[in-house]
Structure 1
Amino acid sequence: MTDTLDLIVIGAGMAGIAAAKKCAKAGWSVAIVDELPYGGTCALRGCDPKKMLRAGAEAADAARLLSDKGVAGEARIDWPALMKHKESFTDPVPESMEDGLKDAGVRTLHGRARFTADDRIEIDGHGEIAFRHALIAAGAKPRPLKFPGADRAIDSTDFLNLKELPKRIVFIGGGYISFEFAHIAARAGAEVTILDRGARQLKMFDPDLVDMLLDRSRAAGIEIVAEATPERIEGAGGAHRVTYKKGDKSRAIDADLVVHGAGRVPAVDHLDLDAAGIETERGGVKVTPWLQSASNPRIFAAGDAAASPGKPLTPVAVFEGKIAASNMLKGKQTEPDYTGVPSVVFTIPELARVGMLEEEARETGEVEVSFTDTSGWFSQKRLGESHAGAKIITGKDGTILGAHLFGPEYAELINFFSLAIKLGLTSQQLKSMPAAYPTAASDVGSMF
């Protein structure tokens, strides 16, 4: 490929695919490259396969909650069959994604890429390629663990491909990945422990609702050890022994499997960014507010690879990819609007958030906070669920500043609050919505 491309996209995940198609549709010559199968983390190694496995855990949990309320018989997860169910979704994705790109006029390349100059990139098996613009949308990877024996831990990708589920599992880290996978594994019959070095888990979520989640997690059989700093992992009778420090004492726990759930970092260290004069910040590409490299104007970045204000979420990656593409096409400096982006921890039940935390909102001035334990409401009663709650934060004028929910179906319900925040609606306007009854949405009006 000796011609100069209008755009080379590095990373065939949601951000990269969205940008590549948009620019190709506008008539640009576009190529996209990835060393991994096309589809990215969300479709292949994250959100989607995780939720496929969660479906089995939800069903088993639902049956157990109603075991003395009309549902008889033991609910049991067949892990290999559940994994095949997951693969029925993930297996066709790479070919489907690549076919869609080709149909859009995008050249699809496979191999590891690295920059060789400010306007050139080298791809294994394809040689050096010149470009007018490049979009770095390489996503994220597990944060390196820096203690002896850390290589004994598997990452989230490996967990989502387990052919059999071990009996004893230890998760390192107290964030999304550990809690979501722990809830799946516990419902599938594993003995699960979460080791978190922090005093507080899931720090980006409302602490009152996190406390509810911790209670619910323990009720599901998950042990949570806070302020536990891993020291080493070593072999122990054909299994693993995880030694951690809590307080001034070292303790140990044996496990058949150790899972790395201690966060992710931008996956850009293999791109030789220095060769293109691309500066980094917080591990990702340093960008302007309109997602252009702060040091090389040919380069843009989107999604987890960009050190932007956006959260590391798929919807953010998609709209960042589209905005970066539009800015390249039109030579504009349009900035992404991150208002009203919801975030969910898909535990059972789920924990959701959009907008400000209570402490953030109080710093802006006078606010009203409505915190309600909804565990006794009909929406939970019919399911036998014991834990649920809502915290809604509004300003003096009734504008919704933040919404925090924990309960069944609340991952769907948070979208109502997301739209309200996006459009600047007041609590009275949202309460005036006539919702179908009985549904989770019909609870909204009583949460204020």
Structure 2
Amino acid sequence: MKTKHYNVFVIGSGIAGKTVAETCAKNKLTVGITDNREYGGTCANRGCDPKKVMLQFSALLEQSKRLNNLGVSKLPEINWKQVQNFKTEFTQKVPVSTEEHLKKLNIDLYHQSPVFISENKIIVEGITITANYFVIATGQIPRTLNIKGKKYLETSDAILDLEKVPKSASFIGAGYIGMEFATMLAVLGCNVTVFEYADSALLNFDSFLVEKLIAKMEKLGVAFIFNAEVAAIEKRTKNIRIKYTINGSKKRHKSRHVFNTGGRVPSISTLKLENANVDFDERGIIVNDFLQSKTNKKVYACGDVSNLSLPLTPLSGLQGSIVSENIINGNKKEFQFPLVPSTVFTQPNLSTVGLSEAEAKNRYKKVLIFKGDAQEWFNAKKGNEDTYAYKILANERTGEIVGAHILGHEANENINLLTVAINNKMTVSEFKRMIFTYPSYSNDLKYMLANK
């Protein structure tokens, strides 16, 4: 069997793995990289980027419906085939451009999931490869739902490639992906149902705002079935039948498509990490502060597959940079969780950064809570919006803003301003003294901090 040695071998070509590979190559290290799917990773090929391209069309239609007969006399027609073609303009060039970029850096490319056979040896494409360091950056994959008939479940990949908007669709799981695509399809005319085992959606977000988002999505045509335990999936002639129970009561539901949106897990099952003495748990590969495996010093892990990460692209890029530096210069740079804002791109957006109300109350003796509805404010009324709310938290002793949660049309942008504020330890009074454009959603933040 052919053998080859590298200074660094990277497994995974998303933002984390690509960052490591190109940085190490630019520093004159010999580098190999492999991916069992198209190069470029989840976000650019089948995740956040194409999703955002598609969501904007349902957002346009939803906004047009709100302004119908208020200046919009005819609703736009969404040509789904053209939407898919436009989306493909972004995705089809990613693998080719990624490979061309890596090849120019003299990085060897492989196209297979490798298998570890020892602590510093893998087999990929029939070649035995050794390396001074292996970097695992394989990201996450959809969680397998262990229910009868699970083979009939589709993932979000299938939504991105739908040939037409279906008459009906069901989602099992009310997390980010399920809530975003449920909103999109409902606005586009699909009969949507969301099944969730818990008693609410988006459990990591503020419940005050989540309840309002659920109410809004119901107005848009999304039906929610909470406390549902899905028992089986059955293929019928045209539809998929879902068998589920609520409080022991057996029920049935049918739709044309059923999507598994029950979360994602680290993509490590095929690597045979036990052969490499690499410990892992349900969160991913267990690493130290240098993002190095605690049990095998020849292995680093970065991005979503690390147990010290969150499934967010900017964080993956940061971790890739840290791993690169530690390989090149020795372990000198530790990873520390930055303040990371997050958004669910529903209609409207739900965004969060910093501490939750419970976390703030646990950390500080007294917490200022600025909370309320803003649907009667100018920016909401000019867009005929019926859902706009917020909760912003501050340490009463210092006045510093410590957490922010916004449900609104521009929440995904406004949360960035509050991220800057929290990072710079701004107080409520300092933030309110800032001058923003008017009338803007950004300026609304100052009014939010005047309402307790």
Shift of residue 283, structure 1, vs aligned partner: 4.8
1:2-31 CA distances to partner (integer Å, 9 max, x unpaired)? 442111110000111111111112221111
> Counterparts in 2 of 1:27-426, with a 5 A limit?
27-125=28-126, 127-308=127-308, 310-365=309-364, 366-395=366-395, 396-426=397-427
Distance in 2 separating the partners of 1:69 and 1:111: 55
Worse-matched range after superposition: 429-438 or 49-58: 429-438
Worse-matched range after superposition: 236-245 or 173-182: 236-245
Shift of residue 108, structure 1, vs aligned partner: 2.1
The unaligned stretches of length 5 or more in structure 2 are none
Query: Is the contact made by 2:57 and 2:78 (CA closer than 8 Å) also made in structure 1?
Result: yes
Shift of residue 159, structure 1, vs aligned partner: 1.3
Give me the TM-score of the superposition, normalised by structure 1.
Answer: 0.97
> Counterparts in 2 of 1:2-41, with a 5 A limit?
2-41=3-42
Give 1:324's aligned amino acid. Answer: V
Spell out structure 1 runs of 4+ moving beyond 6 A.
Answer: none
Query: Is the contact made by 1:340 and 1:419 (CA closer than 8 Å) also made in structure 2?
Result: no
Distance in 2 separating the partners of 1:307 and 1:207: 26
Distance in 1 separating the partners of 2:427 and 2:37: 45
Give 2:333's aligned amino acid. Answer: T
Distance in 2 separating the partners of 1:209 and 1:52: 25
Shift of residue 288, structure 1, vs aligned partner: 0.8
Distance in 2 separating the partners of 1:211 and 1:94: 40
Shift of residue 265, structure 1, vs aligned partner: 0.3
1:253-287 CA distances to partner (integer Å, 9 max, x unpaired)? 11000011000100001011111111112251111
Residue aligned with 2:363, SS: coil
Query: Is the contact made by 2:4 and 2:128 (CA closer than 8 Å) also made in structure 1?
Result: no
Shift of residue 325, structure 1, vs aligned partner: 1.4
1:328-373 CA distances to partner (integer Å, 9 max, x unpaired)? 2111242223232011100011000001110111001221110021
1:194-252 CA distances to partner (integer Å, 9 max, x unpaired)? 00000121011000000110011001000011101101011233211101111120111
Give 1:25's aligned amino acid. Answer: K
- Provide the alpha-carbon RMSD of the alignment: 1.3
Distance in 2 separating the partners of 1:314 and 1:234: 36
Query: Is the contact made by 2:112 and 2:124 (CA closer than 8 Å) also made in structure 1?
Result: yes
Query: Is the contact made by 1:236 and 1:254 (CA closer than 8 Å) also made in structure 2?
Result: no
Distance in 1 separating the partners of 2:292 and 2:425: 29
Give 1:405's aligned amino acid. Answer: I
Query: Is the contact made by 1:10 and 1:135 (CA closer than 8 Å) also made in structure 2?
Result: yes
Distance in 1 separating the partners of 2:24 and 2:89: 31
Give me the TM-score of the superposition, normalised by structure 2.
Answer: 0.96
Query: Is the contact made by 1:233 and 1:242 (CA closer than 8 Å) also made in structure 2?
Result: yes
Worse-matched range after superposition: 225-234 or 21-30: 21-30
Shift of residue 445, structure 1, vs aligned partner: 1.2
Distance in 2 separating the partners of 1:76 and 1:167: 16
Residue aligned with 1:82, SS: helix
1:88-136 CA distances to partner (integer Å, 9 max, x unpaired)? 11111111111222233422221221111111111125x0111001110
Distance in 1 separating the partners of 2:376 and 2:20: 46
Give 1:70's aligned amino acid. Answer: G
Query: Is the contact made by 2:191 and 2:222 (CA closer than 8 Å) also made in structure 1?
Result: yes
Residue aligned with 1:243, SS: strand
Residue aligned with 1:265, SS: strand
Residue aligned with 1:401, SS: strand
Give the structure 1 partner of residue 441 of structure 2.
440
The unaligned stretches of length 5 or more in structure 1 are none
Residue aligned with 1:363, SS: helix
Query: Is the contact made by 2:110 and 2:125 (CA closer than 8 Å) also made in structure 1?
Result: no
Size of the aligned set, in residue pairs, is 446
Query: Is the contact made by 2:289 and 2:336 (CA closer than 8 Å) also made in structure 1?
Result: no
Distance in 2 separating the partners of 1:380 and 1:32: 49
Identity %: 33
Give 1:317's aligned amino acid. Answer: S
Worse-matched range after superposition: 278-287 or 56-65: 278-287
Worse-matched range after superposition: 212-221 or 71-80: 71-80
Distance in 2 separating the partners of 1:150 and 1:174: 18
